[in-house]
Structure 1
């Protein structure tokens, strides 16, 4: 099983490679796109400019390509938005052709119309179907097979049983299959989420929610308001606490900040690695664009350790216990991707 790690800045590429990443993925949004369309028409569902979550310079992409030539760890580029305006396809096609020209060939795409546009215009490249497209079952896989894809990326809400069924029933063989393994567990399915991930507003997936029955007799909106008040109060307290921690300790000293890192703190599937492998999953996604590179480095290293344990432990129950004992050190987040 191969590790696919998210990249937010070209400076982090070498760190991820040395940590053990077999592949890297990144977003690329050129200035021309931002100037014309801004945040309301995102290129890859990451409308963030305030911190390193995507690459915005073609010169940086050229440098990244040179790094790939040296370290031999490939980079795929995301075009994750669910749909684009008709006028945008020509511009996107030019961006992709420019990237192909300097040596990139793997693209993560969610919009089926964009895939068809590339084929109709004879733009040859390797396409990974984004998890944002939401491959739900073997019937959807049969449909997507017509697009001549090289990899399916399963979305966050696929169970291991769903993935196993999709893979085993697929008549097209020798394809790659990728599943989420660490970070950014979300209560939404990407294909049905139209929220923005931008600097100006809190991400919708970060806002707390309250599930209850709505009726004329019961007013649950007061409870929702109460929970929101509590959430923002706790958020302020957490930010204040982190501010004082960073001033009290040297943030660059790994030994002193070890307690700040929690493996799989926002989403984890390490205990299910054996089941994922048995289901036919070939690649494991470590979400990390915008994440701390120190945390990403530890994530990749720990995932590498978990993969290395697979061959030595045959029993799934024993494997899960070994992962908990050797990797989590009693700090399991409980944010499980798979049950």
Structure 2
């Protein structure tokens, strides 16, 4: 299985590669898109302008391509917003043509209408179906096969049993399958998430909430308001946070982890493992990838699942399980 890592800034590419990433994916939003549509209608699921989540210039993409040619680790461009309006398709196709001219031919897309449009335009590129599309069962994948997709990226809520059934039923051996393995274990399914992921607001999935029955006589809303006030009164300076990072407070996959399920994922037929990282601190991403690489080495030499789990928990997790399991 290969490691696929998220890239938020071209400066981090070399470190991701040196850490052990086999592939890198990144978002790209050029000036002409932001000028027309702003950041509330993004090209991908990051409504962001002011920190390192995506690349914003063709010149940077040219530099990234030179690094890719040097390091031999491919880069895939993410254009995985849930849908686009009709007038945007021509602009998206033009952006993709410019990227293809630079040398990028791999794209992650969620909008099926855009995929059809690109096929009709005859764009020469490979398409991976984003997990934001939420391919959820064998019938869905059988329908989607008509689009000549290179890879299916399973969404966060696919169980390993789901993945195994889909892969076993899909007889085309050339198709690749990617599953989440580290970070961002969101409780939403991407295809049904309407939250913004922007500079000004906390992500909806990170806002505290409580599931309860609303009592008309004794309203819960004052308590919710109080918790919201406490939440927004607490802020962490990004620079201070990054300077506090060290081996002692590092936990592998603190916001989502599937390390213990590596053997099950391999047996199911998963070929690629996604380490979510656009916008994450590069120091944390680097350690995540290195530890995942070590886990894969343990997997290759393990005699069975029990020996793999024992060695992984001793040498990788070291008693610091995040308890945020992707696959229980």
TM-score range, shorter chain: over 0.9
Deviation at 1:261, TM superposition (A): 2.0
Distance in 2 separating the partners of 1:240 and 1:142: 47
- Name the residue aligned to 2:109: 109
- Name the residue aligned to 2:100: 100
CA contact (8 A) 2:39 2:49 kept: no
Deviation at 1:174, TM superposition (A): 2.0
Q: Does structure 1 residue 120 correspond to structure 2 residue 111?
A: no
Deviation at 1:200, TM superposition (A): 1.2
Cα deviation, 1:13-43, whole Å, max 9, x if unaligned, reads: 1111111100000001001111110012110
Distance in 2 separating the partners of 1:242 and 1:264: 21
Cα deviation, 1:295-329, whole Å, max 9, x if unaligned, reads: 11111100000001112113213322221111122
Q: SS of 1:99's equivalent?
A: helix
Distance in 2 separating the partners of 1:329 and 1:169: 38
Distance in 2 separating the partners of 1:293 and 1:136: 32
- Name the residue aligned to 2:165: 165
Supply the RMSD in Å over aligned alpha carbons.
1.9
- Name the residue aligned to 2:212: 212
CA contact (8 A) 1:27 1:79 kept: yes
What TM-score does the superposition give when structure 1 sets the normalisation length?
0.92
- Name the residue aligned to 1:299: 288
Residues 189-204 of structure 1 mapped to structure 2, 5 A cutoff:
189-204=189-204
What TM-score does the superposition give when structure 2 sets the normalisation length?
0.95
- Name the residue aligned to 1:15: 15
> Pick from 302, 316, 322: which aligns with 1:327?
316
Residues 78-93 of structure 1 mapped to structure 2, 5 A cutoff:
78-93=78-93
Cα deviation, 1:226-263, whole Å, max 9, x if unaligned, reads: 44345445x44xx38994x77xxxx39xxx82223221
CA contact (8 A) 2:28 2:54 kept: yes
Q: Does structure 1 residue 33 correspond to structure 2 residue 33?
A: yes
- Name the residue aligned to 2:144: 144
Deviation at 1:166, TM superposition (A): 0.9
Deviation at 1:171, TM superposition (A): 3.2
> Pick from 256, 260, 270: which aligns with 1:271?
260
Q: How has the CA–CA distance of structure 1 residues 241 and 39 changed in structure 2, closer, same or farther, with 3 Å as cutoff? A: closer
Deviation at 1:172, TM superposition (A): 2.7
Q: Does structure 1 residue 338 correspond to structure 2 residue 316?
A: no
Distance in 2 separating the partners of 1:283 and 1:218: 50
Tell me, which stretches of 5 or more residues in structure 1 are unaligned? Answer: none
CA contact (8 A) 1:26 1:54 kept: yes
CA contact (8 A) 1:185 1:267 kept: yes
Tell me, which stretches of 5 or more residues in structure 2 are unaligned? Answer: none
- Name the residue aligned to 1:133: 133
Q: SS of 1:197's equivalent?
A: coil
